[in-house]
């Protein structure tokens, strides 16, 4: 099964309208019926002073994405600050052809960036069945956690999505881990990161698309761009048959 994969990379600003305009402009280049990944906290960034305000806008932003997904038959994923009874969570929504397939909140909060002061952690690491196969999501910092990766491997995902805002000083970690996880999972991996500076933090870029063999199908360190690649989901099965690495 051949599918089209895409990931967005852009610099975040303090202007949420401008941020969403960037999303719309880049999405306009995505082919219909493709899977597109957006960065972590794509419309607002980690602006803790306005986090409560932004959490009230998240439902509206998800609805805007839902309408785009419906109109162009896209699968879309990105994270927003979600208001819950427990507190605000950093939540990824997966939308397929206008329907919300599910959501998943960030479990591992990055304490050096004080995420644990402002967000409530999620608890689950689910897999979503879609027209593009089985999809798992790890949000930024979670890419480092082998136990979470192996949990997804046991669930036989076909594609891993990694929405991120990864710091520039650790940029090589993101590049190496992204490729390594594709090899480890024997699945496609999409990474959407921000780049440039936002509120005193310099972000890495280093967005990419990787094959189940670990090949770099698309990559960008900086710049507002959409990365695209053609994928054959049969390759997931072929790689696993060629090099069987089954977990007990």
- DSSP for 48-79, written as a single string: GGGHHHHHHHHHHHHHHHHHHHHHHT-EEEEE
Q: What is the pLDDT of residue 155?
A: 96
Burial of 143 (0-12, 13-18, 19+ CB in 10 A): buried
> What pLDDT score was predicted for residue 230?
96
For domain 2-242, give the CATH number.
Answer: 3.60.110.10
pLDDT tens-digit series, residues 169-178: 999 999 999 9
CA distance 217 to 231: 9
What separation in angstroms does the CA of 110 have from each of 93, 132, 142, 152?
A: 20, 30, 9, 21
Q: What is the pLDDT along the chain (248 residues), one digit of tens a residue?
A: 799 999 999 999 999 999 999 999 999 999 999 999 999 999 999 999 999 999 999 999 999 999 999 999 999 999 999 999 999 999 999 999 999 999 999 999 999 999 999 999 999 999 999 999 999 999 999 999 999 999 999 999 999 999 999 999 999 999 999 999 999 999 999 999 999 999 999 999 999 999 999 999 999 999 999 999 999 999 999 999 999 998 76
**Rounded to two decimals, what is the model's pTM?**
0.98
Question: In the prediction, which pLDDT does 124 show?
Answer: 95
Q: What is the mean pLDDT of the chain?
A: 97
Domain ranges within the chain, ordered by starting residue? 2-242
Q: Single out the residue of 1, 54, 60, 66 nearest to residue 27, CA to CA.
A: 66
Query: Helix H segments across 75-232?
Result: 115-118, 146-154, 171-185
How far apart are the C-alpha atoms of 185 and 91, rounded to whole Å? Answer: 23
């Amino acid at each position: 099964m051949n599918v089209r994969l895409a990931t967005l990379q852009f610099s975040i600003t303090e202007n949420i309208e401008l941020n969403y305009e960037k999303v719309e402009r880049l999405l306009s280049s995505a082919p219909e019926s493709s899977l597109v990944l957006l960065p972590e906290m794509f419309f607002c960034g980690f602006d803790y002073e306005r986090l409560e305000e932004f959490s009230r806008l998240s439902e509206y932003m998800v609805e805007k994405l839902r309408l785009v997904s419906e109109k162009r038959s896209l699968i879309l994923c990105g994270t927003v600050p979600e208001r819950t009874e427990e507190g605000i969570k950093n939540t990824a929504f997966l939308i397929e052809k206008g329907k919300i397939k599910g959501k998943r909140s960030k479990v591992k909060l990055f304490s050096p960036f004080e995420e644990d002061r402002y967000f409530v952690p999620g608890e689950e690491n689910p897999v979503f069945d879609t027209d593009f196969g089985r999809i798992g999501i790890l949000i930024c910092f979670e890419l480092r956690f082998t136990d979470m990766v192996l949990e997804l491997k046991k669930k036989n995902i076909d594609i891993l999505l990694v929405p991120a805002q990864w710091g520039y000083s650790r940029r090589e970690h993101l590049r190496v881990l992204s490729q390594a996880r594709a090899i480890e999972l024997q699945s496609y991996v999409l990474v959407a990161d921000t780049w440039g500076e936002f509120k005193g933090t310099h972000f890495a870029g280093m967005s990419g698309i990787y094959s189940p063999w670990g090949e770099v199908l698309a990559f960008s360190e900086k710049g507002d761009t959409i990365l695209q690649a053609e994928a054959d989901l049969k390759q997931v099965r072929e790689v696993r048959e060629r090099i069987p690495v089954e977990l007990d």
